[in-house]
C-alpha cells in the first residue's frame, strides 16, 4: 500500500525551477534512499513533504490524506487540522540535528510530546501521570540509542554523533509512520558517521517507512529497498539498489563513478 505519493511536483524559487515533474510512490515500510549531487533538489523535496516549503504545483498524498493538490494551476493545501495530522505522521531528522541548546537530551526528546499533551482537555487532572509516561518513553528511546548515561547532558556536552542520536530519538518519540533523514551524517567525522549509520540501520527492524537523503553509497546500497537518483531537479532513477548501481544511464554512471568504495 502506498503511504506516500508525489505526483507531478514542481517547485520554483522565483524564476529558478528546482524540482521538475517529480513523481514517485513509497509503500508502507519501504526504505528509500535519495542520492544525487549537491543542489539537485533533495532537501527541497523532503522539505515539501514535511510542510517546510510550499510547492508550486503537483499533488502530495500521505497515508491516504491529501496534503496538497493542484486546482486550476494553483496548489491547494489541506485544512489546518489535516495538515497537523499529517505532520504528526512524518518525523524529520535534520542534517544539523536542530536540538534545543538550552534543554538536556531528555528534555529535547520529551518536548514535542509535552506540548501536544498540554493541548489535551484532561491534561490538568492527569498531568503527573501523563508527564511520567512521556518521560519513561523518552528514557526508553534514549537507551535504545545507546545514550542511557547521557540523558541529562546538554547538546554542547555531547559529540555530533550523540546529538544526532538524540535527534533520532526525538523524531521517534512521536511514533511517526514515515521518518525522513536529510544527510544525517554529513556533519560528522567518519568514526561518528559509522555509529549513526548503525543506529539508522537498527531502525529498519521497527518497520517504519524511511526516506534517507545520503551520500553514503555503500550504506544506501545495503539498507534501501529502492534508490532514487536525482539530478538537476529531476528523477533519473527510481529502482532497486542493484539496478541503480548497474544502470547504463550516463548521468547515473558519472555520479556513482565518484564513489569508488561501492563500484
Residues that bind Mg ion (CB under 5 A): 43
Task: Yes or no: say if 161 and 129 are a contact pair by the CB < 8 Å rule.
Answer: no
Cα distance between residue 178 and residue 182, in whole Å: 13
Q: Of 211, 208, 193, nearest to 42 (Cα)?
A: 211
Residue 23, H or E segment: strand 16-27
* Residue 13 near ligand ADP by CB under 6 A: yes
- Which residues face 92 on adjacent strands? 180
Residue 33 beta carbon to ligand ADP: minimum distance, rounded to whole angstroms:
13
Among 3, 6, 9, 18, binds ligand ADP (CB under 6 A): 18
State the number of binding residues for ligand ADP (CB under 6 A).
11
> Which is nearer to ligand ADP, 2 or 37 (by Cβ)?
37
Q: Please report, to the nearest 10 degrees, the dihedral formed by the alpha carbons of residues 97, 178, 30, 181 taken in order.
A: -10
Residue 17 beta carbon to ligand ADP: minimum distance, rounded to whole angstroms:
9
Quote the crossing angle between the two packed helices 105-118 and 160-173, to the nearest 10°: 20
Residue 181 beta carbon to ligand ADP: minimum distance, rounded to whole angstroms:
12
* Residue 44 near ligand ADP by CB under 6 A: yes
Residue 230, H or E segment: strand 226-231
- Residue 1 binds what, of ligand ADP, Mg ion, none (CB under 5 to 8 Å, by partner type)? none
User: Contact region for ligand ADP (CB under 6 A) — 31-39, 71-79, 203-211, 247-255?
Assistant: 31-39
Residue 174 beta carbon to ligand ADP: minimum distance, rounded to whole angstroms:
24
Cα distance between residue 26 and residue 3, in whole Å: 6
The contact set with ligand ADP (CB under 6 A) reads 13, 16, 18, 36, 38-44
Amino acid at each position: 500500500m502506498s503511504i506516500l505519493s508525489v505526483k507531478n511536483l514542481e517547485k520554483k524559487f522565483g524564476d529558478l525551477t528546482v524540482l521538475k515533474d517529480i513523481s514517485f510512490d513509497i509503500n508502507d515500510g519501504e526504505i528509500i534512499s535519495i542520492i544525487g549531487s549537491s543542489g539537485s533538489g533533495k532537501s527541497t523535496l523532503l522539505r515539501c513533504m514535511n510542510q517546510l516549503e510550499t510547492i508550486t504545483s503537483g499533488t502530495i498524498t500521505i497515508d491516504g490524506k491529501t496534503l496538497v493538490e493542484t486546482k486550476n494551476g494553483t496548489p491547494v493545501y489541506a485544512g489546518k487540522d489535516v495538515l497537523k495530522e499529517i505532520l504528526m505522521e512524518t518525523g524529520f531528522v535534520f542534517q544539523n540535528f536542530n536540538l534545543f541548546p538550552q534543554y538536556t537530551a531528555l528534555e529535547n526528546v520529551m518536548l514535542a510530546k509535552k506540548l501536544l499533551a498540554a493541548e489535551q482537555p484532561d491534561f490538568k487532572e492527569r498531568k503527573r501521570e501523563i508527564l511520567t509516561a512521556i518521560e519513561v518513553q523518552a528514557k526508553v528511546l534514549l537507551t535504545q540509542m545507546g545514550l542511557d548515561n547521557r540523558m541529562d547532558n546538554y547538546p554542547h556536552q555531547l559529540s555530533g554523533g550523540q546529538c544526532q542520536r538524540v535527534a533520532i530519538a526525538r523524531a521517534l518519540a512521536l511514533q511517526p509512520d514515515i521518518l525522513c533523514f536529510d544527510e544525517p551524517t554529513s556533519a560528522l567525522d567518519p568514526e561518528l558517521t559509522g555509529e549513526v549509520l548503525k543506529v539508522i540501520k537498527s531502525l529498519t527492524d521497527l518497520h517504519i517507512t524511511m526516506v534517507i537523503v545520503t551520500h553514503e553509497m555503500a550504506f544506501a546500497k545495503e539498507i534501501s529497498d529502492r534508490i532514487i537518483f536525482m539530478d538537476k531537479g529531476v528523477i533519473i532513477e527510481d529502482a532497486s539498489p542493484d539496478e541503480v548501481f548497474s544502470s547504463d544511464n550516463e548521468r547515473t554512471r558519472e555520479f556513482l563513478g565518484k564513489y569508488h568504495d561501492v563500484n
